[in-house]
Structure 1
Amino acid sequence: MRTTTGLGQKPSRLALFQGRTRTRHIVVLVATVILVYAFGSVHGQWSPMHRWNRAFADASVLLLGLTMTLGAIPRLFRQSAKWLPWRRELGIYSVLLALVHTTIILEGWVEWNFPRLFGFEFHPVDLEYVMLQHGFGLANAIGILALGIGFILMLTSSDRAVRLLGSATWKTVQMTALVFWALVVAHTAYFLYAHFLSFHRATPDRNPLQLPFAVMVVSVLAIRTAAFFTTFRRHTQESKIRQNA
């Protein structure tokens, strides 16, 4: 397909759109690599498996938090709407990072022993799997559910998906991003604050990202709440204007 109509003429809208999309992918990919290595340095005291599973997870959560923020902040500051297109790439790479995080967990922590993923361990006397880590199993179940929703969101993050599903259906699917965010927060909070408090094993040093994570979650909640009430107020004012017209 030709993207210009002749020598020296301006590129078509499609070419400009594709170029901008490619640029966003490159920028987010570079930022993602930097974030993973930065978080890896934060967790340098851990074993390689825990270090990198945490690094990929932390980068994923941060990108998702930015996605949730960008989706709401234009309703507060309309001039920031120019940043809305970045949500798609941020969301896509957030899910890709979560997939890598999950693969590291399956390979290095549970060793592809799926009952162990849900908190079960094989009992050598009873010769059956018994539940030993209730919180670990529940948190991982939440994480897997979140990953499934995130994967659907990633697959539908394209203009082709909008055309295939239709605008109304596509918007309904994308609204599950709120559920995705809530599940990710719950999953992350368990491993940040609760998992390593078990009395029968040594408690590691406090994770330095506990406070930043809490600040990010509260900030996203505050921004989205403010955006909701701002939108509601504008709708109410517009309704009154129409009634008085």
Structure 2
Amino acid sequence: MMKKPALLRHVLIIGTSVLTGYLLLASRAEWSEMHRYNRALGDLSLLLIVAAMAIGPLARLSSAPFLRKLMPYRRELGIYAVLAATVHTIIILIGWVELDFARLFGFEFHPQLQRYVMLQHGFALANVVGIAALLYGFVLAGTSNNFSQRVLGTSVWKYIQQGAYVLWWLAVLHTAYFLFFHFLDFHRQMPEPNWARWPFVALVASVIALQGAAVVVTWRSQTSRRIYGAPSQRE
């Protein structure tokens, strides 16, 4: 049975995710329904990953007790990020490419040629990156439990979970393409720029800055221990 602290974390993350998803939907009321839900769930997934990636560096940089208490939430944040990304993918498959998997990889059927031709190279590459992120997310979410940790052993389990950094960068690249590049097409009328562009840049830059600062603090701490620990060792 799930212990009360873990159950509470699940309830809090689900509640926060539902509220955030609703706000993201409301922010794009003028979009078609498919794209509203598609983008809202994609953005929600990324926000949950951002939160998971930021907690560790923040706890390392600050001695505030509440930040340490947030560390276990990374597990639930990752699980629901993958769940949101899964629903995001299903919406794209059904509503955007209409279960024509060739279209998912940038191909369109040419009626004159009677065959599929490649029309959207960037769309294909971005979706390959997104699929890779989702598949790796399944691995991370599937092992984000105490049973997997016991079966795999602490070392192997930690090695797998460190792949969260891979998932993070795949998600960033996938999102960046659709925010900045997919709709750059002079052959057709383009929609208004997505409002999430610069908040996305700010979030990514913030996570990078936090991770960089945490690396520097850790390096200085280890260097200090080596330098000042040397005399006592000689004695």
- Give the alignment of 1:114-133 within 5 angstroms: 114-133=101-120
Q: Secondary structure at the match of 1:149?
A: helix
The TM-score, its normalising length taken from structure 2, stands at 0.95
Could you tell me how far 1:145 is from its partner in structure 2? 0.4
Distance 2:230 2:146 in 1: 37
Q: Which runs of 5+ in 1 are unaligned?
A: 1-14
Could you tell me how far 1:106 is from its partner in structure 2? 0.3
Distance 2:5 2:120 in 1: 47
| Corresponding residue for residue 3 of structure 1 | none
- The RMSD of aligned alpha carbons is 1.2
| Corresponding residue for residue 40 of structure 1 | 25
Q: Are 2:195 and 1:208 equivalent residues in the alignment?
A: yes
Q: Are 2:87 and 1:91 equivalent residues in the alignment?
A: no
Distance 1:239 1:128 in 2: 66
Could you tell me how far 1:115 is from its partner in structure 2? 0.9
Q: Are 2:48 and 1:56 equivalent residues in the alignment?
A: no
| Corresponding residue for residue 14 of structure 2 | 29
Say whether the 8 Å CA contact 1:43–1:54 is kept in structure 2.
no
Could you tell me how far 1:97 is from its partner in structure 2? 0.2
Q: Secondary structure at the match of 1:44?
A: coil
Distance 1:52 1:127 in 2: 33
Distance 1:155 1:23 in 2: 20
Report how many aligned residue pairs link the two structures: 230
Misfit runs of 4+, over 4 Å: none
Distance 2:79 2:26 in 1: 24
Q: Are 2:89 and 1:113 equivalent residues in the alignment?
A: no
The equivalent position to 1:182 in structure 2, one of 169, 172, 175, is: 169
> For residue 176 of structure 1, what is the amino acid of its counterpart?
G
Q: Secondary structure at the match of 1:130?
A: strand
The equivalent position to 2:129 in structure 1, one of 142, 145, 150, is: 142
Percent sequence identity over matched residues?
A: 47
Say whether the 8 Å CA contact 1:120–1:133 is kept in structure 2.
yes
Distance 1:101 1:71 in 2: 26
> For residue 51 of structure 1, what is the amino acid of its counterpart?
R
> For residue 182 of structure 1, what is the amino acid of its counterpart?
W
| Corresponding residue for residue 65 of structure 1 | 50
Cα offsets for 1:157-189 (capped at 9, x unmatched): 111111011110011101111110001000000
Q: Which has the higher contact order (CA 8 A, sep 6+)?
A: 2
